[in-house]
Amino acid sequence: MTAMLDLAVHEEQGPISLAEISHRQGISLSYLEQLFAKLRRSNLVASVRGPGGGYRLNRRSNEIFIAQIVDSVDENVDATRCGGTADCQQGETCLTHELWTDLSEQIHQFLSGIDLASIVAKRQVQQIAARQDAIHDQLVRMPAPAIEERPVAEQV
């Protein structure tokens, strides 16, 4: 969700590299690569190759709903203890199984009504994104630490 929000916040900048998202959001690059492969298969994002390439939303942000993102990366919103298998109590259904199943469905329904654009439009989200961008920009502009010249054997 965080990576998709990052992409939506920065969609006017053109394709965004996973490395940029990784740095801004503190998410492992290899994990993002796995997630974005699934998001691409679900047509939620498109990859752009070449210099200046990266990922972009494949639809407008007001056409991408949170539940679609959750579903596309094979996550589910499940409040049951049994993962929805109804074997909660030594292989049998527990007394509260239907309650938690109904709650899971309500959460999914709730997430189906929230699009990326509505989250991005929130002032607090904009403030957080601006802070993250400022930190990211500072890190990018920092000079690389000087590497001291030492004999190769000493470097190993």
Q: Indicate the domain borders of the chain.
A: 1-62+129-140, 65-114
Q: What is the pLDDT at residue 137? A: 80
Q: List per-block mean pLDDT (blocks of 10 residues) for the chain, which spans 156 residues.
A: 95 94 94 96 94 93 96 85 85 91 94 96 91 84 57 44
Q: What is the pLDDT at residue 90? A: 86
Q: What is the pLDDT at residue 107? A: 94
17 close to 53: Cβ distance less than 8 angstroms = yes
The domain made up of 1-62+129-140 has a fold known as Arc Repressor Mutant, subunit A (1.10.10)
Bin 85: left if φ > 0, else alpha if -120 < ψ < 50, else beta: alpha
Q: What is the pLDDT at residue 150? A: 46
22 close to 28: Cβ distance less than 8 angstroms = yes
